[in-house]
Amino acid sequence: MFLVTDKFIVRTAFQEDSPILLESALYGFLKACPHARALQLTPVQAREFIRWIIERSLNTPYSIMIFEKSTGELAGFRLYSVSHRDESQDFEPFELDFDSFTDNVKILFVVGNILDNQKNKIWELCPNVNKVLRQELTFIDPHYQRQGIGSHLLRFLNVEQLKRDGFAGIQSEATSFANQKMLSELGYKMLSESEEDEYMWPDGSAIIFPDETKSVQLFFLPFT
């Protein structure tokens, strides 16, 4: 599926896009993500975890890439996976070897648990919802920000088809203040929020974020 605008080409992401998505995530997304910066993650440390997310997302036909029309340069992407109330139906691409990670990467799994806690609250807070499209990663290259890409990414989805496929809406555990603000502006509803004291280093000191980010917020955009 393609969407062509005056400046951009938006299309579905495929399995063969995995290498360019991995490079963009490791050398673009990590630099921009407040959580990655706070945890001082390097591309080498985060590689397997990011690869796991990409493979999970590309297992379904919902992830999106956007390219600058004149140059063909990747301007941004949004990765989606599918989440079910019955977790046995969720796709897991491969098993991550937790013991092989360094200490600060293990902290990423602590943050991952915070994200999962927020993720799972959707089933408690929305008892009639059984299947959602989960927004995993979103990255817009700084050179292309404030050019309407966020709205292009949302418009690209075929909501009527998603409804026919049994999706109740889109879920996002927003990990940055900027993304939280953008989702609110796009009509998402904030359902839940993590506590600041959940972000702790092993020595008990607080993990400090480099911007106004203070928590993970669970957002949901129901299909009506």
Domain of residue 182, CATH code: 3.40.630.30
Q: Which residue has the tokens 């690869």?
A: 51
Q: Which residue has the tokens 């959602």?
A: 132
> Confidence class of residue 194 from pLDDT cuts 50, 70 and 90?
confident
| Longest Cα–Cα distance in the chain | 52
Question: Which pLDDT value is given to residue 146?
Answer: 83
Question: Which pLDDT value is given to residue 195?
Answer: 81
β-pair partners for 74:
67
Average pLDDT taken over every residue of the chain? 87
Question: Which pLDDT value is given to residue 102?
Answer: 58
Reduced to 3 states, what is the DSSP secondary structure of residue 29?
helix
What pTM did the predictor assign? Answer: 0.87
Residue 149's domain comprises: 2-222
- R_g of the chain computed on alpha carbons: 17
H/E segment holding residue 161: helix 159-164
- pLDDT single digits (tens) 92-128: 988 876 666 655 565 666 667 777 788 889 999 999 9
Q: What is the 3-state secondary structure (H, E, C) of 77-127?
A: EEEEEEEECCHHHCCCCCCCCHHHCCHHHHHHHHHHHHHHHHHHHHHHHCC
Residue type, position 192, single letter: S
User: Which whole number is the average pLDDT over 23-28?
Assistant: 96
Dihedral sign from CA coordinates of 195, 201, 205, 207? negative
> Confidence class of residue 209 from pLDDT cuts 50, 70 and 90?
confident
d(CA 156, CA 185): 17
> Confidence class of residue 185 from pLDDT cuts 50, 70 and 90?
confident
**201 token code pair:** 């280093």
Q: End-to-end alpha-carbon separation of the chain, Å? A: 23
> Confidence class of residue 151 from pLDDT cuts 50, 70 and 90?
confident
- Is residue 3 predicted with pLDDT exceeding 80? no
Question: Which pLDDT value is given to residue 116?
Answer: 79
User: Which whole number is the average pLDDT over 148-172?
Assistant: 88
Q: Between 181 and 40, whose confidence is greater?
A: 181
Residue type, position 29, single letter: F
d(CA 23, CA 83): 25
Percent of the chain residues topping a pLDDT of 70: 93
Quote the number of domains for the chain.
1
